[in-house]
Amino acid sequence: MQKRNPQYDILFEPVQIGPKTAKNRFYQVPHCNGMGHRFPRAMAEMRGVKAEGGWAVVCTEECSIHPSSDLSPATLMRIWDDSDLPVHELMIDKIHAHDALAGIQLVHNGFEVANYVSRQRTLGPSNIPTEAFHHVQARAMDKGDIRDCRQWHVDAAKRARRVGYDIVYAYAAHGTMTLPFQFLQKRYNQRSDEYGGSLENRVRFIREILEDIKDAVGGDCAVAFRFAVDELLGKAGLEVAEAEDIVGLLADLPDLWDVNVSDWKNDSLPSRFGGEGAQEEYINFVKKITEKPVVGVGCFTSPDTMVGQIRRGVLDLIGAARPSIADPFLPNKIDQGREDEIRECIGCNMCVSGDYLAYPMRCTQNPTMGEEWRRGWHPDRIEKAGSNDGVLVVGAGPAGLEASLALCKRGYDVILSEGREEYGGRVLLESALGPLGEWRRVSDHRIYMLSQSANAQTYVESRLGADDILSMGCAHVAIATGASWRRDFTGFYHSYPIPVADQSMVISPEEILSGSRPAGKVLIYDNDGYYLASVLAEQLAGEGSEVVLVTPAADIAKWTEFTLEHAHIQVRLRELGVRIVCQQEMIAVESGRVRLGCIYMGTESSIDADAVIPVTARDPDEVLYNALLDREDEWKDAGIKTVTAIGDCHAPATIAIAVHSGHEYARNLDKSAEEASFFRREVGFGGE
């Protein structure tokens, strides 16, 4: 076992939080996961794995305290009454089994919810429409409502103590997500009584909740306060100057300050728009005002950055959501001198989409995320090989790299062959664009880990054909040759090619990713809806090109709403002068111009362009795979048992899905079809 680097010893000092002691400074702050009350076993196992990985504190996601804060259709947690407690107990037991503290984030969402299931009237500080849902308006809370809400917090806190939580949260952060924060915000709190107007009045509600919780459970549980210190809206929102006064008014009331910026898109800032430790400039005042410990986040992956924030007096505890998802064993790896093995978060926010779309979250870097209970996948352990068979993996993109690494960990002898000069596939190409630089961590981590593996042989500039593979004697062959963007404009909106009079005008995304730069005015056609079209527009506009971004959708990069990128993309492209044209389909590419049609009326228009980049659909690069299938009668003599397409070669999708595909292949090698397809389902738990 390697020894810990002494310069990181400070990360493993215990921290007193009220009546509780965290065994080290690693703190998994509350984060959503798309599991909650619908998938309690999966949620519990996921949290338990983090505790096993060395996190001293592991918290829930938002936990609704009352039916008037019904988060449906989101899949989070509830503590409405005692019938909800078995779900919590299951998770707490998993966390406590590894000597970690369990924290619960109590929430009432006020006018952020429409109460679709409970059908109770939405509450708010004032009479205003709901933020997230249409045709529902919040009713201004009267004094009785306020007393009731305080009691709901007390009841939930007592239940939390009874079921075994160590830390209980009051929550006023993340924009308009929480009722206490809505009371703090002048634009939503239009009251004229003692709960509105002056800052001291607007703070009254959260002060009362904190005092109530401390009176109810403070002797047994630590009481934490999650607070957003800046909404980054200027005078239109809560700013640091006002936040300093709020911290001053409440300085020593909670046992722990959990501080961040708002709203969620700024707190979980995509790596395209900010790097590690980006929140320091906003939160560094808090420890100067309060004597209580402070935890904050910043997509921390480097132990040097962590140590720096502690020594500079910014934080006492290193908070993490996304880094704890990408590598649940991050603390243990630092503790064991294995920090070079950390699977660093790339800030793509694929994890966030699980909350928005109500499915168990996934992670681009960590393919075991969400599969810990469902399929029994552990992020740091894997079952031993089922045979002595050798495996050939063709293609070193995200699927091929992950398959090779997982196979090596199982003990298989692996040959990895890559036709290009470098490993990485699409990750290598896409991360060459400035905004996606941190995404290269997907390939860098796996390339490094493979270099440390004695049973991996890796080759670049080694393009194999069917004859080569049949002569190599490997029992199993995984084809991970990826996919290529189509040039004929076929995509989601129209599943047919369009007329192109001048093919020289059409440039594929791969050509841009490989360094080609078109001259003149560039039109990018986004019929994909995820990130790449906007990244290409940002890159080319930043280099001085005149760029028009056209899409048949109602908005550009529509799917990035689920990854917290959408608003940032809109701002960035407008700052760069990119012209945005929505609800227009491509009709034809003609010499020097593009003909468009309104998706509703069919009325035509045209835009002058010197080059057109279609970001539409992708074709799997399956020539080699099909060639081997055509020669299946030769496999036995060649010693081949299986040939399998994985990743984008099998079905083009996200990088996260490609990584998962590679990992799944490695886990299932030598298993029967029934064993490989098996996963557990959540049925019959806790009265759900």
Q: What is the DSSP letter of 390?
A: E
Beta-strand relationship, 139-140 and 123-124? parallel
- Separation of alpha carbons 414 and 306, rounded Å: 36
Q: What is the DSSP letter of 109?
A: -
With the CA atoms of 324, 326, 329 and 330 taken in that order, what torsion angle do they form, in degrees rounded to the nearest 10? -70
3-state helix vs strand vs coil in the chain, percent to 5: 40, 20, 45
Structure tokens at 215: 């009176």
Residues noted as catalytic: 32, 171, 174, 267
Per the listing, tokens 């680097």 go with 5
Task: State the DSSP string of 37-52.
Answer: TTSHHHHHHHHHHHHH
Structure tokens at 522: 């560039």
| Contact of 102 with 55, CB cutoff 8 Å | no
- Separation of alpha carbons 258 and 283, rounded Å: 10
- Separation of alpha carbons 92 and 554, rounded Å: 44
C-alpha count within 13 angstroms, C-beta hemisphere, residue 569: 26
Name the amino acid, one letter, at 305.
Answer: T
Strands (E), 444-514: 456-459, 476-479, 483-485
Nearest CA among 159, 111, 157, 102 for reference residue 133: 111
Nearest CA among 160, 128, 154, 132 for reference residue 141: 128
Sign of CA pseudo-dihedral 644, 648, 652, 658 = positive
Q: Residues with Cβ < 8 Å from 235, sequence gap 6 or more?
A: none
